[in-house]
Structure 1
Amino acid sequence: MVAAEDCRTAGRAFGGPTRWRAVAGGQSMMLRVIVQESVGAGAVNEDRAGSCAQAAWVIDGASGVMASQIDALSDAAWFAAEADRGLQQAFRIMPSSSTRDILRWVMARCREAALHHLGTNSVSANDLPSAAFAMVRVSQGRAEFTTLGDCRILYHAPGGPAALFGETALSAIEARTIALAREILTAQPDIAPALLREKLLPQLRENRRRMNQPGGYWIMGCDPDAADHVDSMTVEGDRLDCAIASDGFLRLIDTFECCDPSDLMDVTTPQAFAAMIARLRMLEHSPGSMLDYPRVKVSDDASFIRLTLSM
């Protein structure tokens, strides 16, 4: 049984490091959140970053590809908030359950909430919001990494360099979308972002039809079976430095290629995070940026949690 404390979700860092002590399998491990930040690219932030005694997580909401089916400013933000609340509740009421069981419970809860909002069962799962997800959890005296989609975990293994964890078939699928965006942008360098998305919409819909399907990609959504397809691993050791990031923040590594995992692991204060965000936004909005670094959206929400685990 884990000694539970109130979970927290933040769009900004706590007022200093937050220390949680979890007891699992008779061993005590400290989960210390150093930085916990989430900043939106627009009026609505569709990311969430949360933590509790046993775990820390980042959720990156994604809208359905059709018109929003849920009465909210953003169905992606609604889903991310719903999933975050579900994780907070799950770790309070079933802290000893496996991560897969917790995720199944959370996604079933999200499905019930979505159908309650819609007042019908006759809606395609592809039209409902979903989210990429990554979590670091204290489990039986070890660190457990879990991802679904393109949120990822950065970590310093004892004696090793900084590395990224999290594999997903979504990367290859999205690469086709980026290739198409490059073609469009090459032909129309000054195309408006809304028109670019309109031209990409058939490809985006084709991508979404492969969500949580065999031969497609698996992601946090309203299908609890996705919990059986997480990318996961456990890391042993008395101390582990790690971080969790949404794909919006990871653009610094994989889109603009101006940082490596070690650079992001060095983000250990809110001020350092703010400096990285300023650098990211400058790159996103610089002249010719969309053509030089093709992508679907000019800017994206960015979330980051820096933490340490120690015995």
Structure 2
Amino acid sequence: MRVAFASEPAYPDRPNEDFIGATADAVVLLDGASIPPGITSACSHSVRWYSHTLGSTLLAEMTQSAGPLPELLAQGIKHVTSLHDFTCDLTHGGSPSATVIMLRQTADHLDWLVLGDSTLILDTRTPNPMVICDDRLEQVAAPHRTRLDSLPGGTPEHAEARRQYVETLGQYRNRDGGFWVASTDPLAADQAFTGTIPTDGICAAALLTDGAADAVNRYRLTTWRRLLGTLAQDGPAELIRQVREAERSDPRGERWPRSKPHDDATAAYCCPSEGVLGDPVEALASGFRDEFERA
């Protein structure tokens, strides 16, 4: 599997809490959940430590085992929890957490897992690619965003509203009726979206943290089909550049209300092994033709 990826922190002087890693047969993407000022945690470890430790653990597991992806995720969460359950109070709701995407290629199929609001795109040779995103966070969050979205970014009022918003969402994390992410409870892996698809039906895949998927979801800069074209022709860094340009044009969130001016952004573009799948460039061209004909 050929993989190209780019990752950029929200700000140059802050750590990137995303994780991206790949082998010849597997890709893992995590988006660590930032903790805003004013929220305390009983865990002494950073969000970056959590996302990078879990991400590297999952990648190692996927190269050593052909087990079901939810099982590997549960094992990975359990392992990382064991690294700090004697030094940190992991019963506290502020323990670090992350979304997870896992993609694994075998000789004749692709296995995938999505937990949290990162986005997996599978180019299935049809006009509309398959887009998988766990939207349970958005369903829970929408009713609580009204005040936050009404305030201009960069103000003390907006910062306080964001703190209250994140604290409120913490009450819904990893519980029935709420949303699920990787944190301290391995049972969260059972809540992931999963699937298997024959490799001869896929010509490419893309993995995006929400900071990169905002190109479509928030800023409406493009469509999923055209986003795949950008990744194939210009590379993941170009997609992130376009997102940053949109964000810089609206620093206070007046056109596009949001929690923070910038977010960590990571994008990966994968072409499964040559000879297994068809030509991704031709598939993209076919998709563009179909999109043009529908317009």
2:53 aligned with 1:82:
yes
Distance 1:107 1:146 in 2: 14
Answer yes or no: is the 8 Å Cα contact 1:132–1:220 preserved in 2: yes
Q: Which residue pairs with 2:226 in the alignment?
A: 263
Q: Which residue pairs with 2:282 in the alignment?
A: none
How much does 1:194 deviate?
5.5
Q: Which residue pairs with 1:135 in the alignment?
A: 102
Where structure 1 has 5 or more consecutive residues not aligned to the other structure, the ranges are: 1-30
How much does 1:51 deviate?
1.1
**Aligned with 1:150: secondary structure?**
coil
Distance 1:41 1:64 in 2: 14
Amino acid at match of 1:67: T
- CA 292–165 in structure 1, closer or farther in 2 if over 3 Å, else same: same
Q: Which residue pairs with 2:267 in the alignment?
A: 304
Pick from 21, 25, 32 the counterpart of residue 50 of structure 1: 21
Pick from 196, 218, 221 the counterpart of residue 234 of structure 1: 196
CA deviation map 1:248-305 (0-9, x unaligned): 0011111111111112211346954333222211211224650111110110000111
**Aligned with 2:272: secondary structure?**
strand
Where structure 2 has 5 or more consecutive residues not aligned to the other structure, the ranges are: 277-295
Alignment TM-score, normalising by the size of structure 2: 0.83
Pick from 8, 32, 39 the counterpart of residue 2 of structure 2: 32
How much does 1:182 deviate?
1.9
Q: Which residue pairs with 2:288 in the alignment?
A: none
Answer yes or no: is the 8 Å Cα contact 2:148–2:165 preserved in 1: no
Pick from 80, 92, 111 the counterpart of residue 110 of structure 1: 80
**Aligned with 2:6: secondary structure?**
strand
Amino acid at match of 2:119: R
2:166 aligned with 1:221:
no
Q: Which residue pairs with 1:174 in the alignment?
A: 141
Q: Which residue pairs with 1:277 in the alignment?
A: 240
**Aligned with 1:126: secondary structure?**
coil
Amino acid at match of 1:76: V
Please tell me the root mean square deviation across aligned C-alpha atoms, in Å: 2.2
- CA 151–224 in structure 1, closer or farther in 2 if over 3 Å, else same: same
- CA 260–163 in structure 1, closer or farther in 2 if over 3 Å, else same: farther
How much does 1:139 deviate?
4.7
How much does 1:159 deviate?
3.4
Answer yes or no: is the 8 Å Cα contact 1:133–1:151 preserved in 2: yes
- CA 91–291 in structure 1, closer or farther in 2 if over 3 Å, else same: same
2:159 aligned with 1:197:
yes
Amino acid at match of 2:66: S
Pick from 159, 168, 175 the counterpart of residue 206 of structure 1: 168
Answer yes or no: is the 8 Å Cα contact 1:178–1:295 preserved in 2: no
- CA 287–171 in structure 1, closer or farther in 2 if over 3 Å, else same: closer
Q: Which moved more, 1:158-167 or 1:267-276?
A: 267-276
**Aligned with 1:59: secondary structure?**
strand
Q: Which residue pairs with 2:68 in the alignment?
A: 98
Greater share of residues in strand: 1
- CA 123–224 in structure 1, closer or farther in 2 if over 3 Å, else same: closer
Pick from 244, 255, 258 the counterpart of residue 295 of structure 1: 258
How many residue pairs get matched?
269
Distance 2:252 2:232 in 1: 28
Q: Which residue pairs with 2:213 in the alignment?
A: 250
How much does 1:223 deviate?
0.7
- CA 282–268 in structure 1, closer or farther in 2 if over 3 Å, else same: closer
Amino acid at match of 1:108: K
Distance 2:173 2:241 in 1: 33
How much does 1:155 deviate?
1.8
Distance 2:95 2:233 in 1: 34
Distance 2:236 2:34 in 1: 26
CA deviation map 1:236-257 (0-9, x unaligned): 2424311100000011111111
